[in-house]
Structure 1
Amino acid sequence: MCSMRRLLLDHIALGYYPYSELTAAPTIKIPSASVNLCLNIDTVSGTFSVHHARLFVEGVEVSHPEVYNDGRYIVHGLRTFLQPLSRYSCFDRSHSYHCHGDSMPTR
């Protein structure tokens, strides 16, 4: 298993990303707090109950956008847990996950 610290760093985006900005493009890559890793963001447009688009981070739906937003930091709630990021996350959609050297791969 990956360390909790590593998983947390993998899934912290470097920057300020309101839900409306994240859903403006069909796909984007955002730098992670882990060096040389990126979060892959996908948007599905349509008429949904609260928002006009559904947002997915690494395939996991953002179920609670902007749970916390103080103008400097934003926290988005997710439907389930995220897997460790691939070392190729900034380049492609590889499904080869790993734990960046601090433990054994998870898949």
Structure 2
Amino acid sequence: MLAHLSENERRHEEAQAHIRATIMNEFCEVMRKTGLPPMVVMRLAAQAVGSIYRETADAHSGPAACPCGWCPREGTDVDILCSALLAACTRRKGRDLRSMAIAGTA
């Protein structure tokens, strides 16, 4: 399945799958342990992502900033996060063969 992807695309897909599985497991565990409804737990998860962003942005700002080169831009970054959330929440139409990645040749 991942054979046709570049190394960067493969790492992206693996990271996305790992993060999704981890969050799904914790989401279900929190609902099971607390009895809280799904939307309450989803709101808490969204708040956690926001606080992780803030902590990461703070670590990449100021005189003791992480040397990796990322420069947080809060407005743009939050817009990107909101767009990603909206895109993931939007109900997808059935699969359209025209939009699927080509896996090989016949």
TM over 0.5: no
Larger radius of gyration: 2
More strand by share: 1
TM-score normalised by the chain length of structure 2: 0.23
Higher relative contact order at CA 8 Å, sep ≥6: structure 1 or structure 2? Answer: 1
TM-score normalised by the chain length of structure 1: 0.23
More helix by share: 2
